[in-house]
Amino acid sequence: MNFATWFSTHLSFLPPQIAVMITSMLPLIELRGGIPLARLLELPLSQAIIFSVIGNVIPLPFILLFIRKIFHWLSPTKLLGGIVRKLEARAMGKSDSIKKAEFWGLMCFVGIPLPGTGGWTGTLIAALLKIDFKKALLAALCGVAMAATIMSLIAYGIFG
């Protein structure tokens, strides 16, 4: 059973638009799962895009603004320090394309829907690289728009 089927089965009490928005807010899943879920729930394409983009974008400014402080605070703890170091290492391991061409690299990293890419990881990398907030947020927003276009074509166009 895939995530979209599970979600539609177990959380069917939620309006489909809210289900899509919440799914799109989740790390790793983001709108790459939200738009196919919208298709499964038979939402019109316009609603799929609107609610998945809103859900995907909500966490991004908070990640950019606070993740370094949160990591700094959690790093010394025994319980979460190892997880923080693994997240930092994983993010920085994917940072080469972003380091070279900050704006365009970040936009493409967020926008091309491949495993391990997306808004959460992209803004985490941008925050760790100390990329200017406005530049990073704009690049991430453009990347989310790119990902929404690609996923919409896949979910509603090619397979729709």
DSSP, res 159: -
Sign of CA dihedral 91, 27, 116, 30: negative
Cβ atoms of 34 and 55 closer than 8 Å: yes
Tokens 């895939």 belong to residue:
2
The predicted model scores a pTM of 0.85
User: Which residues neighbour 46 within 8 Å (Cβ) at sequence distance 6 or greater?
Assistant: none
pLDDT per position in the chain (160 positions), as tens?
A: 566 567 667 777 889 999 999 999 999 899 999 999 999 989 999 999 999 999 999 999 999 999 999 999 998 888 888 988 988 888 878 777 777 788 999 999 999 998 889 999 999 999 988 999 999 999 999 999 999 999 999 999 876 5
Residue 34, phi then psi, degrees to nearest 5: -65, -40
